[in-house]
Structure 1
Amino acid sequence: MEVRKVVDLRQDHAGAPRVFGEPYETADGSTVITVARVHRGFRFGKPSGRETRRDGDLTASPVGVFVIHGGRVWWQPAVDSTRIALLGEFIGLASAVIATLAVLRRPPWPDLRR
């Protein structure tokens, strides 16, 4: 990817819920542009006096960085290992529950009460 394409991409997504950080230069001459995703939320609180309290909440999570070095541009995604680990734990828990329910419904051993 060329530098001009990155600049065009940055301008195309100006209205999207992404935040591009200020470019900075590293010691080896690479330019790094950080990218984050913005999440919006609203909360309605208990009435205080005559008005209901309304809060807006903005949070940002890292998506990755654009690295520009020697006229070349590449994308380095930010991997959320916590989310991947939680997904693995959820799948393991769900399979254990399903296996337990299957065994309780019809045990794999023979019925010796007859």
Structure 2
Amino acid sequence: MSDWVGESWGELTPDQQQRMNQLGDDVGKIWSDPDDQPTRDVALAAGLDYMLDRESVAVLAGDSMLETFGDTLASCRRDLQYALARCQIAAVLASEDGVPETRIAHEAGVDRMTVRKWLGKR
């Protein structure tokens, strides 16, 4: 873990270093797929930020780190909801234009059953 943390490792107390090692193990179990490496890195970076400075730069805006992360999460959920709505409507219109469900699914990056649900067939 010290290699991943880099120079900041020395800024951590021995207890924080132990906690960071445990966090590395826990994060590796939660996101264990090799493709999850970017997510593991983000999770570990959040843990490191938390341990180095609990209030971080967010305190300047009057928010705690958790409030800042929560605001980001809420914004991402809204963005996801809007992206799903755009994709669903495009799928419905494509289907009305005769595009096969399998092609819609492939191009939208979803499975065919999701397309069928969007089309009211499931």
TM exceeding 0.5: no
Structure with bigger gyration radius: 1
Normalising by structure 2, we get a TM-score of 0.30
Normalising by structure 1, we get a TM-score of 0.31
Larger RCO of the pair (alpha carbons < 8 Å, separation 6+): 1
Higher fraction of strand: 1
Higher fraction of helix: 2
